[in-house]
Chains A and B, each alone.
Chain A
Amino acid sequence: MKKQALNFTVNKQQESIQVTPRTRLLDALRLDLGLIGTKEGCGTGDCGSCTVLLDGNAVNSCMVLALQAEGRDVTTIEGLGEPGILDPVQQAMVRSGGIQCGFCTPGMVLSLKGLFDGNPNPSEEDVRIAVSSNLCRCTGYTKIFDAAQALSEGSLQAQAADGNDDAIGARMVRTDAVEKVTGGAVYAEDIQLPRMIYGALVRSTHAHARILSVDTTGALKLPGVKAVVTGRDIDMGYYGYELHDQRVFALEKARYLGEPIAAVAAVTADIAREAASLVKVEYEELPAVFDPEEAMSPDAPLVHDEPNAYQFDWESERKGNLCYRLEVGEGDVAQGFAEADEVVEGTYHTPEAHAGAIEPHSATAMADPGGRITIWTTTQKPFAVRSYLARALERKISSFKVIPTHIGGGFGGKLYPVLEPYVVLLAERSGLPVQMTLSRDEEMATAALLRHPSKVTIKTGVRKDGALVAQQVRMLFNTGAYGPYGPNTAALGSLMAGGPYRIPNLDITGLVTYSNNVPKGSIRCPSGPQMAFAVETHMEKVARAVGMDGLAFRLKNAWDNGDTTCTGQVLEAVSIKECLKKAAAAVDWDETCPPGTGKGLACNWWVSGTWGTQTLLETNEDATFRLISGCVDMGTGGMTSSVLQMAAAGLGVPAESIQLVRGDTDTLPWDHGHGGSRMTFTIARSAYEAAQDLKQQLLEEAAGQLEAAVDDMVLENGRIFVRGDRSNSVALAQICYNRHKKHGGPMIGVSSILDDAPPTTKPHPIGAFPAPSFCAHAVELSVDDDTGEIAVTRYAAAHDVGKAINPTGCEGQIEGGVAMGLGLAMMEELREVNGKVLNPSFADYLLVSAEDMPPMQTILVEQPAVEGPMGVKGVGEPPIAPPTGAVANALADALDVDVQRLPLTPEQVSTLIATRTHGQ
């Protein structure tokens, strides 16, 4: 296509470039002008991450053709402030903690900038509306509203003093905030390499079909195509998480609609997509199965012909489409039901849901002629990318070097290889660097690694006085065509099946079935929102059956210290009752609700970490330090705040003197990855231990120089001195300098951590939750009786974080988790019919927007865990679970109905209202 001249002003500079008519303003800014701060989250005007100011008005740059900007004035994030000086909007965002993964941040800042330029004192309502097109999946918007309020009130200066403090418990500003708020942070799609080409996938057009032939001739003939790869011309091994049942390409048959069959690379992404459409695949359609109950019937079509041939790290019965079965229990439920005064039954359904990170998957690979391959990717587990690739492509782990980029939101969606194998194969085949980025449609429909849909049936026996005596739970999870995380989801779910309650007789069954649906993954708090919905909605029903208030009922049955879980874990540092009381009080639980309104409670428990990691803390010559960890930060900010705060505390120096090393799998020590609420519990604790190790070495060195006992050494304000004699001292910088110059190198503190799980008495693949965290949420809402619309009017979340190393970070996790949980409760549902996702976009798969976010009260409870020096408990995942149950219970309170199904869309609520009317 012929290029035309485009003359316009960008960030006050006159620019003249050549673009094609189809070039979007977004592409011109990113690719032609290198302004990578403008992000593409969807390309369909639904997320706002590409926001720029066009003649002062905030617009989506993906919705504008570049040539339409002729003669106009464009401001991107790079145009705000001056070099080294942030714009006030940027300052406010940095100081308030309104930045997490940072992918939405440039767009968010520009929308706020557009607002404040026209109105320096906007109301909160103005702010909510102004950023309502800018989806943020991390923060729950609350800290962004705080930023706007500080800006509006001119209270930025007051905040600044607070923000500089980096002690334990202080609201230290994360060290990557400035990089992110200025648009400088480099994400996977921002990687640009010389001669780079682009990949696309050929995907199965059937949910279940035998592949008879794959003809790549047409694709190879298309000018601009550089490589085509199919499963028939490479070596493929099976890979997976616990269960290794998946290969890179479908070979004999395709098991879900959209399964990759071939990959192509071409000089432009457009040509690559066209080439993909020219690969001819001949299919023989097979009968398919989608419903998990049907999948378990003996005559159901088999998704995997020989599931027992796959390597599986756990033991389980597997036959037909049953991918995993788990049973765990305690006592005798039959006897328990016999002793109960009431037996209450219920079945609860949750739909497929998407992690919803605003950044789509993107990966780039380059193969060197010697055979080594470098991969830039957006991953929560860079080291696992290597091992997955090694298994999938039958190579050595050491053949891969993975460079993790900034992650534009993970939430579990970036735990597993999605594009990495294809860019590797295409880079090898073409000899060129290859980049592949999923479109939003692909991201939602085929590569999603969705949250497992669930069907949970519960039968509970209770005494008149409200004491729980028995509970039987059957959980059914549909893992789709492959089961990378199905077994793990069921195993985690089984630990929540009895809630955080004392139930003497328990019988829990977890079932995971294969089907011809899109494979499911391990999304933030896997099985948590499903189980919190089922168990907590059911508990409310049980409480009503014995005429008890939901809070009183929970307080009667909730765990105390010394209680045991279904696997026999003896609990310590239990705080569930404190969380319940505080959350309930925050919504004035005891005050009666007017008609049409209701209040609800839900509580849960969850694991902190852990898995293995190693941290090094190394001296520089001037007594600054390098913190070296292989863990990446998916956006929460743990790595750039609480980990540094813990290291600083362990060493006794300011956090600002510790530099976080950003590296790759060649240079950093191995780590499991970012997930499982482990950042502050595991990584920060490891950093603390490494710091203590280094401190000991420094003190020993000082003791030698000062000719005194090590035990008498004190480190303070950058000097080490002899206790009781401040005149006898040596500067830390002097010790470091001497070590480097005279003893051949730095001092390095080392910590390797792999926690033992707490002991249990029952066989179970997970067994126990180390340093379990507890939480309770309370919600107040009103319902429009005619339309079924819900308005959440108040929301309180109380979380036991053990010790809040950085309260801003803890609150950010909670507020963001609540936003995500409210989405699951009220609007998020990926609708799959016969294996086809009907709503693969942010226009039709709705995330909570700034206008939907209720006023939040975030309550930090600190009941220190027995593990670790500070008593930290994980907080990354837990906040997403209780909103489902809390909203369902508030709705039940408002309408006197049984809620059995999420999400509670207006139509779903309207259906509930109709059943009530008919019942009366």
Chain B
Amino acid sequence: MAFLRSHNLSVEFPIYQGSSRSLKKTVVAGATQGNLGRDTADRINVRALDDITLDIKDGDRVGLIGANGAGKTTLLRVLAGIYAPTRGEFYSWGRISALLDVSLGLNPDATGRENIILRGMYMNIHPREMRSLVDEIAEFTELGPFIEMPARTYSSGMMVRLGFAISTCMPAEILLMDEWLSAGDARFLDKAQRRMERFVGGSAILVLASHSPELLRKWCNRGVLLQHGRIAAQGSIDEVLKVYIGAPPPEPAPSGHTKIASSLYMARDGFGMARDGSDGLLPQLDNVLRERTQFLHERDAALGERNELLRQRDLEIGLRNLQADRLARHVHRRDVAARRAAAGERLSLPVRAAGTRDHMMLFLFLLKAGGETLVDIFVRNLDTKDYLVVENNDICRSALGTWSDLAIDKALSRLQRNQIDDLRFVWGPYRHGVDARLPKSCAGLTLLHDPLERAISHFLSADPSTDPAGTLKNYLSSRDSDCPLLLDNYMTRILSGVAELDPAEPRATAANHRRVSDADFELAASNLDGYTVVGLTDQFDETLLVLGRELCWSLSDLLYKPITAAKSRAAAEISVSLRDKLMDWNRYDAALIERARAHLALRIHEYPCFEQDFALFRKLNALFQQGTPMEDLRRLEYEGIAR
């Protein structure tokens, strides 16, 4: 049975070495700002070990870990009974063999054989006894003929082998080893481990101080980490090594310092220092401060987290308010529409509005901007779900021709995708080859011009006073199906009664057609029924923004994706260069663009905080292109507006 037990053990080194004692003391005190403890006799004390409580039992293989000057060697010396603790208690039981210094008792001038005897003497082994062990030791060291040579001819590795072999020649119950063992090579260490196990036996104690994690892992099952003379951690060797390797090295004393210098270094650090009779006030103060700092850090972190939560809550509330606001406006607008519908204005409003060229442009913009969704919303808001309206006039013929194609393609696409069951086309005299685009036979598609051709021809060529429009209108309104009806713009105008046609002329003449267009402009200028007129400009984003405001849409509703050329026209989307083309085409009518611009400028002028909204919209749109989720965009929009 063997054990090593210490309770609150402390070791203090008095520093009064050297002949010029008082002079040295003065120098030291000056250099360290009097930070060192002084006892009643005015000595300087350095605490090398502080409050060490250990219980090492049979079978423990303890690894002592710590930086230079942490107190490993001092602790080993206490365990070996060399240093009596200055405070606290220490007990040990069992035959101790201490291997603290490889050079102990090794005389450089004596031969290896003599040194074995000599060192044995220092280890309390009688030379007579030692002589019987010499051969066994010599064999282990593998020194061969060198055993008869003076020890000064040995390499350091040979010295280590010799020292280790002698120290472990007698079974010991407690083996204390300092880090010099690390000097051996791997093969020696393996051999040493086997020898050690044999001599220490299964039940005895090993305490090993080392810097080598591999050695410690291999030899030890327990670990004790020393820092500034205190036990920083103890437990299984792996845990303690993790702590030691993970922790930043506690400012190692510069190499080459004497033991005293490194002790002073520790003392200046505020650790390991104490005044005789007191109980280490400074370390306690340090602990309190450290704890307080830790607490403050944690509090700050908690506050930051709470602030973040509050901010998110504010954001949620703001978003909800915004949505509620939008909803309220929509409800209001729906109510207005419902009231008007109840008052019998149902047909007049949408058809007339749809008939304006500017609304057609708006439609186009929305199609480009948001695709089907926006168009659907727009159509729903205009209460014109029964009608897809095709603009067709000579001012922007090409553009609108394209549009017509698109509208047809879109309608056909919807038909093919079974989104609508039935589709009927009705158009006026300006077909622009539309019929060529239509498939000759397609399920669900009805080309109304065939059954209506005569009626339309009659209508167009007949005298307006005979009111053929009424006939047509009656036909259209009396249809039993609610399938989409594709009317061209000309027909729309006539049916809605927007344009006053010259009764003296046939309706299909250029003059009558111009009259229809002019009526559109007049209608647009008068801003009938509060509907917005959006000009044909190259200021697409601005237009969209103004439009969005008029329609009470949030900015995120207006976000659009550029349509790439790769997407097929069958998907009813327009090509990416369409806008540019549109603008190009629209140059044909400088006056119109001028008017539209002026109108837009006016709208922008009336728009509060347009600059901010515009910048925000641009930013949101850019983010939208990068695939940012809609929720985040809405949040950003709110944050931008709230700011």
Q: Do A and B come from one complex?
A: no
- B contact residues vs A (CB 8 Å cutoff): none
